[in-house]
Structure 1
Amino acid sequence: MTDERPQYGEIATLEEQRKAAGLPPLDAMPVAAESPVVPEAPTTEPRRAGSSPVDRFVTIALLAYGLVNVVVTGLSYLDFSTAMNEVLRAVGADGEFTNFAQGKLWGTIAAVVLAAGWSFTAYFSIRRLRSGRRGWWVPLVGAAVTLFVASICVAIPLMNDPAFIAFMDTMAAR
């Protein structure tokens, strides 16, 4: 009696493997004329291990806090001379802010920078949260970058104001 199966250590051909498994030969298989079946994508986005409810809460809380700050600060920048008079009083300067033309222009630009910076930050934070990635750091980085740019916008008219220049001269003389 001859056994057609390969012995231990011998390599079985694909046909021998199919026969031993009880499958029909490859040449007996019908050829499909259709395109290959592509599995459907899942209907929900899978959450990655990095995102958590605490991360979501912290991210949303930081965005809400940032929004309140943007609204309050942006409105104060639209009344730039009043805001800068408060700054001058806070630092101990004697004069009043009089660089009205530059103040109005750069105050408006700073308010727009704050709103745009918060909008971009919120967009990227929400994208990270939806993809299941950690997002708590995005509002912090967005706030730092936005504050830096807005501070430059505010500094331009302030540095050109006669009252602030006089205050800086008296501080340098001390």
Structure 2
Amino acid sequence: MSQNEAARTPNHSGDAASTHGGAGNPPAVPPRDERPRPQYGEYAPEGWTWTPPVDRVAVPDAPVEPAAAGQATASGTAEGAVAATARPIDRMWSIALLVIGVFGALYNSLVLFQLPATALESAKLSASMLGVDAPTEFTPGPVAPAAIIVGIALQLALWVGALLWSRARLRAGRSAWWIPLLAGVAAFVVMLIVGMIVFSSDPLFLQSLSPARP
């Protein structure tokens, strides 16, 4: 073997070893970007998004609606206050008549509750006014307690209805003084009807009140 061949033999072995080692672990090659090259600048990295800047100078539109709603509510409240004070005299009379009405409803309820016990005294007073003989006894019939309970309930219901109706009209700025008066008239009519039912529940008592025919 010549010196030249001996000198080339180690180099050949080293080259083979390096070639063998290189075949086992090839270098990583980055993927090629197939997108066309942009005209200005470079492409943004993956996952990046653009958010427009907030214009702090511009006035937002969202708070305008609540402000308008607040102004409408304030104007409605002001209108309600003006309507409530538009009729001060009517308001005063309505409240006064309602106060009188509550005492009247309680008094009428008490009179109806005691009507079976006081019917005889009332009949004697009526007989003296009519100039007839006064009855001596009174026995209420089975319909009398039911009529008295209904009469008391109507007395209270009329006053509550007058209160609610008057309150609604006063808030609307309308006249309401006549509502307690109307309720009082209706309560008086209820008293008369219940009294007639209770008196007529005893036929002998009702017959004694009628004037004698010649």
TM-score, structure 1 normalization: 0.67
Contact 2:83 2:171 (8 Å CA) reproduced: no
Contact 2:98 2:180 (8 Å CA) reproduced: yes
Deviation (angstroms), 1:49: 9.3
Q: Which has the larger radius of gyration?
A: 2
How many aligned positions are there?
140
Partners of 1:157 and 1:49 in 2: how far apart?
A: 44
101, 106, 115: which one aligns with 1:71: 106
Give the SS at the match of 2:158. helix
Give the SS at the match of 2:77. coil
Deviation (angstroms), 1:96: 2.8
Q: How does 1:9-158 map to 2 (within 5 A)?
A: 40-41=72-73, 42-44=76-78, 45-48=80-83, 51-92=86-127, 93-158=134-199
Deviation (angstroms), 1:40: 1.7
- Residues 104-155 of structure 1: CA deviation (Å, up to 9, x unaligned): 2211211111111111111111111122111110111112123223422331
- Residues 89-113 of structure 1: CA deviation (Å, up to 9, x unaligned): 2202323321153222211211111
- Residues 3-30 of structure 1: CA deviation (Å, up to 9, x unaligned): xxxxxxxxxxxxxxxxxxxxxxxxxxxx
- Residues 42-75 of structure 1: CA deviation (Å, up to 9, x unaligned): 2241544995222112111111111111112202
Partners of 2:171 and 2:121 in 1: how far apart?
A: 42
Using the aligned pairs only, state the percent identity.
Answer: 24
Q: Which amino acid aligns with 2:174?
A: R
Give the SS at the match of 1:139. helix
User: What is the RMSD of the two structures over their aligned residues, measured on CA atoms?
Assistant: 2.7
Gap runs ≥5 in structure 2: 1-60, 128-133
Q: Which amino acid aligns with 2:205?
A: A
Q: Structure 1's 150 and 167: CA in aligned 2 closer, same or farther, altered over 3 A?
A: closer
Gap runs ≥5 in structure 1: 1-32
Aligned to 2:209: 167
